[in-house]
Amino acid sequence: MHFHLTEEQKAIQEAVRGTLADSWPIERIHAFADGDADFDRASWDALMALGLGGILLPDSGMGLLDAALACEVAGEAAAAGPLIGQLLAVAAAAASGRANLDALASGEAVATLVHGGSAFVPCARAADIFLVVDRAAGVRLVPAGDGVTIEAVRASDRTRPVSKVAFAEGAGEMLFAAADPITARLADAALVLCAADALGGAQKVTDMSVAYAKEREQFGQPVGRFQALKHQLAHMALDVEPARALVWYAAYAWDAELPDAPRAAAMAKAHLCDVYVRATRAAVAAHGGIGYTWEYGLNYWFRRALFDRAWLGSPSEHRARAADLASW
Amino acid sequence: MDLSYGEAAEAFRADVRAFLSSHWPPAADLRGADLKAFIRAFRAAATEAGYLYRAVPKRYGGSEQPVDVIKAQVIREEFARARAPMEVGGNGMNMTVPTLLEKGTDEQKELFIRGTVEGDYIWGQGYSEPGSGSDLASVRTKGELSADGSKWIINGQKIWTSQGMQSTHMFMLVRTEPDAPKHDGITYLLIDLNQPGVTRRPIRQMTGEEGDHTFCEFFFDNAETPVSWQVGERGQGWYVSRTTLKHERASIGSADGLGRQFAKLVELAKEVDRIGDPVIRDKLAQIEGFVLSHRYTSFRLFSCAAAGEDPGPVSLMMKLLLTEIGHEMALLAQELIGEHAFIEPAGAGGRGNRGPRGPEKWLDQIMGSLGNSIAGGASNIQRNIIGERGLGLPRDLAMSGER
C-alpha cells in the first residue's frame, strides 16, 4: 500500500519548480504577456533539459503520475509552452512504433495538443507538430505546414495563447483509429494532465492568498487574523488539498490500467477545473484591490483557470460522461 | 502508487479469515443472554488471537500488539466482511482507555481498563456545559475538596453526553481552582454515575429522536468521587483532556461509509425516477467529486500513517470536508424526495421501531447532517483550526491570549 509521493517524485517536482523559478520568474511572465509570442524558448529549453519530454516513453520507468506531477508544477508556475501536448505526442508516437523519437522527447521539436473538434490550439504558431486527439475520429500527428492553417487571435490566457487552427482533409498521419483503445487512453491522459495543471494553479493562488493575509495589515492587524478572511482561506485550502488525491488516483488508475481509469480521468478534470475557477475567484477577493491590478499577476492564473475549464471539454460535459460511465 | 497491501498483509488476511470462519457467526437460534455470552467469548478469543484491543496491555485485558496500521486495516476489513463484532465502541475505548494508558495511575488502570474493554463500564463524556460549547475551557461545573481531603464534591451541569442513559461512569472536566487562569483551573475526574447526587435526563433532538439512546444532560448536586480517581495533577485537567489518540487510528472506514451513503443517494434518484434528469446527473457527479476526494485522501492519510510520515494540513480538513459533503447530499436528497418530505419517517432519527420507510427516510440524513456541523468541534472551529494550525494564520484577537 503506497498512496503518497515518494522522495524521488518530490525531488522531480522540486527540480521543475527550481528550474521554472529561475527561467520563468514573474518579470518574464509580465514581459511575455505583453508581447506577441505564443511560446518562450528559454524556459522551454530549461524544462526540456530536465528530461521532462521523455516521461511517457515506455522505457522511462515513469508514468502518467510523474507526468501529472510535472504538469502540476507547470500550472503552479504559470509556465508557457505546450507541456501536455509534448508529453502526449511522445507517448502517442512511441505507442505507434515510430522509430525516431529523439527530437520530440528532447523537446527540440515542439508538439501541441489539439482537442478533436476544437479550433483553438495553444502555442500553435510555435508548434512543429500537432497531436490531434479525437475520441470520435482517432489520433493524428500533423507536421506544421502539412495542410495546417493558423490564424492568430487575441488570446485571454496570456501564458498559453491560443490560435485558431484548421487542418486540411487527411492532413498528417493517422496513428490510431477512433476504435483503437489507445485513442481513448490518450484522451483520458490529457484530462488527467489538465487536472494536474489546474491543481498546481489552484494551490499557487491559495498560497499567494495565505501569504498576503499574513503580511497585509488593516485595523492594526494582519488581515489573516480576522475570522471572516481566515475562514475564506480555510475554505480555499479545503477545496484544493483533498482534491490532490483525486488527481493522484486518476493518474495511478491510468498507469495501472484499472477499469475505472476513464471515469477517474473525467471526474478529475471536471472537479479540478471547477476548483481552479473557484480558487482564483476567491484569491482575487481575498487579496482586495491589489489582486485586481495587472501588475500583481494573479490574473495570469485566473486566465489559466478559464483556459483549463474550457479546454478538452467543460466540467459539465465530463460529469455527463462520468454519469454515463457509471451506468446511472 | 500501489493500492494493494502487499503479500505479508494478504497472508495475515488468510489467518484472520481462518479464525473468523471457526469462531463466527453464532448459531442462528442463539438469543438474549446466550447471544451476549457468545459475543463476549468471541471477543475474548479474538483478543487472544491478537485482533482486538491491540493497543491495550495484556494485563488489562488487551492483546498488546505492536502498532501496524496495515494489519489493523486488514482486521477491520475481514471482521466487516464476516459481520463480526469488533471492540466495544463508545467513549470508553475511544477516550477513557487511551487517556488512562497515558496519564492514569496504576490503580486507575487496574480499576477501569479491563471493565471498559469487556464492556461492563460505559463512559459518558462530561465536557460540554450549557455555557461552555466551543469555549470548552470556560467550564463552570465546580469541584471542591471534602473537609478531610479524600473526596471531590461536584456541583454543576454537563450536557450533550452520548449514551448518557446507559453510562455507568463519566470522565469530566471540573473547575477546581476558580482563581487560576482558565486553562489552569480545571481538573480531570472520573466519577461513578450511580449515586444520589447525579440526575440525568435525555435531550429531545430536532430529529424527533428521544428516549434512552439519545444524548443526555447531567445535573450534579454534591456528587462525590475519590481524590484517587483524579487523572493527572490537580489543575492540569485541560492538558489531560488533550491526550492524543494515536494508536492505529488511520483507517479508510469513514470514507467507505460516505461512499455507501452516496450510493444510496444514486439509488434514491433511481427510485424517484429522476436519474435521467441531466440536472440531477450533473449534481450527483459534482457531489461525487468531493466524495472521491475524501476517499482517496483517506488512502493518502492511511498510506502516510503506514509509512510513519506526516501528511500535513490535509488531516485537519477531513472532518469539515465530511460535514460539507453531508450538507450537499442533504440538499440534493431534499430535491429528490419532493413531496415525501411531508411525511415524518417512522422511528425518526432513532433506533425505535421503524416499520416500512419510503423516500421520507432521508429526512434522518437531511436533519442529521446538521449535527455534524456542531458535534466534535463545530465547523467554524474547524475553519479556525485549518486556518491557524494548517495555514499558519495568526490567532483571532479574542483568543490570542489563550493556548
Q: What mean pLDDT comes out for the span A263-289?
A: 98
Question: Kind and range of the H or E element at B296?
Answer: helix B278-307
pLDDT tens-digit series, residues B245-304: 555 666 666 788 899 999 999 999 999 999 999 999 999 999 999 999 999 999 999 999
pLDDT of res. B103: 95
Sequential DSSP letters for B315-352: GGTHHHHHHHHHHHHHHHHHHHHGGGGGSPPTTTTSSS
Could you tell me the three cell numbers for A81? 509552452
Out of B1, B278, B384, closest to residue A227 by CB: B384
Question: Kind and range of the H or E element at A150?
Answer: strand A148-152
Query: Superfamily for B96-241?
Result: Butyryl-CoA Dehydrogenase, subunit A, domain 2 (2.40.110.10)
CATH architecture of B253-399: Up-down Bundle (1.20)
**φ, ψ dihedrals at A148, nearest 5°:** -110, 125
pLDDT of res. B399: 74
Assigned domain for A292 exists = yes
Which chain B residue has its CA at the smallest distance from A234's CA? B387
Q: Do B293 and A213 touch (CB under 8 A)?
A: no
pLDDT of res. B350: 56
CB pairs under 8 A between A and B: 162
Q: Give the integer Cα–Cα distance in Å for B271 and B336.
A: 9
pLDDT of res. B397: 77
Q: What mean pLDDT comes out for the span B342-351?
A: 74
Interface check for A10 against chain B (CB to CB < 8 A): the answer is: no
Could you tell me the three cell numbers for A80? 508557457
pLDDT of res. B377: 85
Residue B89 confidence class, pLDDT cut points 50, 70, 90: confident
CB neighbours of A130 closer than 8 A, spacing ≥ 6?
A: A111, A112, A114, A121, A124, A140, A141, A142, A143, A144, A148, A165, A167, A172
DSSP-derived letter for residue B2 is B
Q: What mean pLDDT comes out for the span B334-354?
A: 81
Give catalytic residue positions of B. 248
Distance from CA of B330 to the nearest CA of A (A): 19
Tell me, what CATH number does A321's domain have?
1.20.140.10
Domain ranges (residues) in chain B? 7-87, 96-241, 253-399
Over 70: is that where the pLDDT of B145 sits?
Answer: yes
Q: What mean pLDDT comes out for the span A229-237?
A: 98
Q: Give the integer Cα–Cα distance in Å for B319 and B373.
A: 9
Q: A196 lies in which domain range?
A: 181-325
Q: Give the integer Cα–Cα distance in Å for A78 and A32.
A: 12
Q: What mean pLDDT comes out for the span A255-274?
A: 98
pLDDT tens-digit series, residues A120-156: 999 999 999 999 999 999 999 999 999 999 999 999 9
A165-182 per-residue burial string, b: 16 or more CB within 10 A, e: under 16: bebeeebbebbbeeebeb
pLDDT of res. B335: 98
Distance from CA of B80 to the nearest CA of A (A): 20
Over 60: is that where the pLDDT of B352 sits?
Answer: no
Over 80: is that where the pLDDT of B401 sits?
Answer: no
Out of B2, B384, B386, closest to residue A237 by CB: B386
pLDDT tens-digit series, residues A42-85: 999 999 999 999 999 999 999 999 999 999 999 999 999 999 99
User: Cα torsion at B384, B386, B392, B397 (round to 10°)?
Assistant: 0
pLDDT of res. B253: 66
Give percent above pLDDT 70 in chain B. 95
Out of B286, B303, B383, closest to residue A231 by CB: B383
pLDDT of res. A220: 93
Over 80: is that where the pLDDT of B353 sits?
Answer: no
Over 80: is that where the pLDDT of A265 sits?
Answer: yes
Could you tell me the three cell numbers for A181? 483503445
Out of B275, B282, B314, closest to residue A316 by CB: B282
pLDDT of res. B98: 92
Interface check for A39 against chain B (CB to CB < 8 A): the answer is: no
Q: Which residues of B touch A270 (CB under 8 A)?
A: 285-286, 289
Residue B220 confidence class, pLDDT cut points 50, 70, 90: very high
Q: Give the integer Cα–Cα distance in Å for B184 and B187.
A: 8
Q: Give the integer Cα–Cα distance in Å for A283 and A221.
A: 20
pLDDT of res. B208: 78
Total count of domains within chain A: 1
pLDDT tens-digit series, residues B40-68: 999 999 999 999 999 999 999 999 999 99
Domains B96-241 and B253-399 share a fold: no
The ipTM is 0.97
Q: What mean pLDDT comes out for the span A185-197?
A: 98
Q: What mean pLDDT comes out for the span B176-183?
A: 94
Q: Do B293 and A2 touch (CB under 8 A)?
A: no
pLDDT tens-digit series, residues A100-114: 789 999 999 999 999
pLDDT tens-digit series, residues A58-68: 999 999 999 99
Give chain A's count of helices (H) and strands (E). 13, 9
Assigned domain for A40 exists = no
Q: What mean pLDDT comes out for the span A177-186?
A: 98
Which chain A residue has its CA at the smallest distance from B268's CA? A328
